[in-house]
């Protein structure tokens, strides 16, 4: 008696390989779309914060955080101490990543109370401090000689924990495509502060960076 042998034909194997290829292509394309969405989200942070600042200034003739009449502008009659006034010197004092009651820290409470941005207005709330799409701190401050990463301008927005593979895409969307120069610059957060990119420390796509944009 002859025994019959079973197995896959070349056509069946080819069909399986095509299916596997389509699945891998779909996974890679899906990851590409996710990364593209993250880059757009991170880029939008740098575009939206100046709008918050200018909208508040148009409404109250003062910068959020620095507003010396913030209680009069933002608090209801029954809650006259709902926030803290700034000193009104025209600068958003403090550092972009402050976790204390500086003007940079109060910036978020003022714009939210003014109805310009979503988020908690309770400074003690764990969700009060703003985060970007990668979970890094996001903030704004006025700048001068001690500007983070030496960015030019009157104010700066800084966003932390941004993967190196996204840095050039964000820089191309907002500036000159070179993260060591221009209005948008990248740096590494160290124990003594931010260290800027340079000839000896080029961009490494495997690391995470802080990006600061002057405006």
> Per-residue pLDDT tens for 163-182?
999 999 999 999 999 999 99
Find tokens 């709008």 and name the residue: 51
Asked if residue 188 lies in contact with residue 140, where contact means CB atoms within 8 angstroms, the answer is no
| Mode of pairing for the β-strands spanning 184-190 and 155-163 | unpaired
> Per-residue pLDDT tens for 91-144?
999 999 999 889 999 999 999 999 999 999 999 999 999 999 999 999 999 998
For helices 10-60 and 103-113, give the axis angle rounded to 10 degrees: 90
Sheet of 208-214: strands edge to edge? 138-142, 155-163, 208-214, 184-190, 193-196
Question: What average pLDDT is seen over the chain?
Answer: 90
Please give the pLDDT value at position 4: 59
Q: 163 has which bridge partners?
A: 208
Asked if residue 187 lies in contact with residue 210, where contact means CB atoms within 8 angstroms, the answer is yes
Asked if residue 145 lies in contact with residue 136, where contact means CB atoms within 8 angstroms, the answer is no
Report d(CA 212, CA 180) in Å as an integer.
11
Least confident among 34-38, 54-58, 88-92: 34-38
């Amino acid at each position: 008696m002859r025994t019959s042998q079973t197995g896959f034909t070349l056509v069946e194997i080819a069909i399986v390989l095509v299916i596997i290829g389509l699945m891998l292509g779909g996974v890679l394309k899906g990851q590409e779309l996710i990364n593209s969405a993250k880059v757009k989200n991170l880029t939008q942070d740098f575009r939206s914060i100046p709008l918050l600042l200018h909208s508040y200034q148009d409404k109250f003739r003062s910068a959020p955080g620095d507003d010396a009449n913030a209680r009069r502008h933002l608090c209801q009659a029954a809650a006259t101490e709902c926030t803290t006034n700034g000193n009104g010197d025209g600068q958003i004092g403090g550092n972009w990543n402050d976790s204390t009651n500086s003007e940079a820290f109060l910036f978020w409470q003022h714009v939210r109370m003014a109805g310009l941005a979503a988020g908690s207005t309770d400074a003690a709330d764990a969700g009060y401090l703003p985060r970007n799409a990668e979970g890094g701190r996001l903030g704004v401050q006025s700048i001068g000689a001690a500007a983070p990463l030496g960015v030019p301008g009157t104010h700066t927005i800084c966003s932390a924990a941004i993967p190196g593979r996204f840095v050039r895409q964000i820089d191309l969307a907002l500036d000159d495509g070179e993260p060591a120069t221009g209005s948008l610059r990248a740096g590494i957060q160290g124990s003594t502060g931010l260290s800027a990119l340079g000839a000896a420390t080029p961009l490494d796509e495997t690391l995470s960076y802080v990006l600061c944009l002057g405006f």
